[in-house]
Amino acid sequence: MADSEVHKPEKHIIPLTLTTLKAACSQCNLRELCLPYGLSEPEIEQLDSAVGARRRIKRQQNLYHAGEDFEAIYAIRSGFFKTDVLLEDGRNQVTGFQMAGEILGMDGISGETHTCNAVALEDSEVCVIPFSQLEQLSREIETLQHHFHKVMSREIVRDHGVMMLLGTMRAEERLAAFLLNLSQRFTARGYSPAEFHLRMTRDEIGSYLGLKLETVSRAFSHFQEDGLISVQQKHIVILNHAGLKQLLNHQPN
Amino acid sequence: MADSEVHKPEKHIIPLTLTTLKAACSQCNLRELCLPYGLSEPEIEQLDSAVGARRRIKRQQNLYHAGEDFEAIYAIRSGFFKTDVLLEDGRNQVTGFQMAGEILGMDGISGETHTCNAVALEDSEVCVIPFSQLEQLSREIETLQHHFHKVMSREIVRDHGVMMLLGTMRAEERLAAFLLNLSQRFTARGYSPAEFHLRMTRDEIGSYLGLKLETVSRAFSHFQEDGLISVQQKHIVILNHAGLKQLLNHQPN
DNA sequence: GCAGCTGTTTGATCTGTGTCAATGCGAATT
DNA sequence: AATTCGCATTGACACAGATCAAACAGCTGC
């Protein structure tokens, strides 16, 4: 869709010309959610110059694969991703869903190799931030350094939340937590808190939540029967936010 | 045990005198596992001066509590910790076990507040590294900055591994993975890969692995029947390392 | 319009792990 | 040596969610 103008066949890199460069961070309306958060105007312009390029990823294509060399982290400009890990024996699990303003690729820093796959769930665009440049810049700009540390730490805290979910919650609680989390993140991006389109399949939701797709489907149906949500395929309307929240705090034992 | 010499009643802080200061990192035999990894001698001495103090934590005491202000991260000098998260409804989960050379507290960076509890499972000692000083120093020392980023990233990768375990593995696979992981970490610290003492209870293992303590106990017994390990309360001997590993790759479906 | 595909829903049954309960063991205290 | 207390083990049974299976919906391409 309006994509055919880009045709460097390998990887759809959009080299930053003077005009696109200008647009990198300083013109970006995700500034407040993304890496530049808290930076002053001149600092943002420095960051602009570090952002190497933008890259378009079509639906179902990988931004990176597990095993590839790590060189950059990515800020999602638009679109929607999942990350997943593959075990030797073939089992795999979705470790997260990422949306605009969020950062992808930090798993690769530790071993200089990506440890998971990042796959676009819809046509997407990311800003490529070469990691060595980010490190250099964050040695110069204290605010950037601090904010990047917060971003990494937030990922750790998020992961702990998922561990909690997988370790202690029952199927319907997991799905309720998942929906509320999506709602909250869409809201932060200016979309409706109550109505949205799921970009992922039941199977992918199940993988993320440690459930089988049938269980996810049944939980959706049950929520609908109870008037908590309306589901039609991937179209979700949250009818009773508080009711969903209650599911989480209501302790069975 | 030989602990009564320390008696500043609040929090057992050991102020760094000239002699103890010298010992902070440059004299520490965990250098290679810990933050100073890769630093030159003079750089290590700079790091020494940033390490504020050491602190002793007795068994069952908290290094920090969820909700407390975040000011420092901690490097474990000796001992053994668990971290756990508490949900409003009272459910809680162990999110990790940490041993000498590992870093605690990075969850607190994002919100300037600790998000979990860190509890000593045996009498322990940590180095207190005030975070603002670490940030300042890592703006000056590129190697330190890079290594700190790796440490944070490693925590993310570790968490993904736990998510994998919780999301896709069966009870016995989880326990096998847990034992192999402990074995590997003890080995890296110069202890026996095959024989060790568990510092945590069955309940804590279960919480970490998303299982009930009875299930953990049964899995231990089963491993013993199969000659994979010998268990006697908290004393573990791994008799068949390869056999445990096989449990992980053997895919049921 | 129809065929074929992918993803979803729903039902029937099976099973791994949770739950409840009793017993056992070891370390600390007296 | 006896008592207590916190953990650990083991058994019997229940149940949430997995598995297997069939039907269905929506989309793409012909």
Check residue A23 and give its pLDDT: 58
Indicate if the pLDDT at residue A19 is higher than 60.
Answer: no
B3 or B114, higher pLDDT:
B114
Q: For residue A89, what pLDDT band results from cuts at 50, 70 and 90?
A: confident
Written as one string, the DSSP assignment of chain A is ---TT---TTTTEEE--HHHHHHTTTT-TTTTTSTTTT--HHHHHHHHHH--EEEEE-TT-EEE-TTSBP-EEEEEEEEEEEEEEE-TTS-EEEEEEEETT-EE-GGGTTTTB--SEEEEEEEEEEEEEEHHHHHHHHHH-HHHHHHHHHHHHHHHHHHHHHHHHHHH--HHHHHHHHHHHHHHHHHHTTS-SSEEE--S-HHHHHHHHT--HHHHHHHHHHHHHTTSEEEETTEEEES-HHHHHHHHH----
What pLDDT, on the 0 to 100 scale, is given for residue A207? 97
pLDDT at res. A227: 96
The region of weakest confidence among A26-30, A93-97, B34-38, B191-195 is: A26-30
Percent of chain A with pLDDT over 90: 78
Residue of B166, B178, B209, B213 to mutate, interface with A, max A Cβ within 10 Å: B166
Chain segment B50-106, per-residue pLDDT in tens: 887 889 999 999 999 999 999 999 999 999 999 999 988 888 999 999 999 999 999
Q: Which of A34-43, A149-158, A175-184 is predicted with the least confidence, judged by mean pLDDT?
A: A34-43
Q: Which of B155, B163, B208 has the CB atom closest to A162's CB atom?
A: B163
Tell me which residue in B116, B166, B250 faces A166 most closely, judged by beta carbons: B166
> Residue B52's Cα: distance from chain center in Å?
20
Q: Would the pLDDT of B109 be above 70?
A: yes
Does residue B115 sit at the A interface (CB-CB below 8 Å)? yes
B246 → chain A, closest CA residue: A89
A90 touching chain B per CB within 8 A: yes
pLDDT of residue B7: 38
What is the sign, positive or negative, of the torsion defined by CA atoms of B202, B203, B206, B207?
Answer: negative
What is the mean predicted confidence (pLDDT) over B219-233?
Answer: 96
pLDDT at residue A5 greater than cutoff 60: no
Residue of B nearest to A160 (CA): B95
> Nearest chain A Cα to B112, which residue?
A150
pTM of the model: 0.91
Element (H, E) at B86: strand B72-86
Q: Is the predicted pLDDT of residue A84 greater than 50, yes or no?
A: yes
Dihedral pair phi/psi, residue B143, rounded to 5°: -60, -40
Alpha-helical runs (H) found in B51-201: 131-140, 142-168, 171-188
What pLDDT is attached to residue B4?
37
Task: Answer whether A253 touches B (CB < 8 Å).
Answer: no
| Per-residue model confidence as pLDDT tens digits over B166-193 | 999 999 999 999 999 999 999 999 999 9
Is the CB of residue B138 less than 8 Å from the CB of residue B228? no
A7 pLDDT tier (thresholds 50, 70, 90): very low
Task: Characterize A172-210 residue by residue with b for buried, 16 or more Cβ atoms within 10 angstroms of its Cβ, and e for exposed.
Answer: bbbbbbbbbebbebbeeeebeebebebbbebebbbbbbb
The integer distance in angstroms from the CA atom of A43 to the C1' atom of C29 is 66
Residue B43 Cα, gap to closest chain A Cα (Å): 16
Nearest to B251 among A89, A138, A159 (CB): A89
The answer to whether residue B11 scores a pLDDT higher than 60 is no
| B interface test, pick of A92, A109, A165 with most B CB neighbours within 10 Å | A109
Contact yes or no for B207/B92 (Cβ under 8 A) = yes
Average pLDDT, chain B: 90
User: Which protein residues have any CB–strand D distance under 7 A?
Assistant: A 170-172, 210-212, 214-215, 232-233; B 198, 201-203, 213-214, 216-218, 220-221, 231, 233-234, 252-253
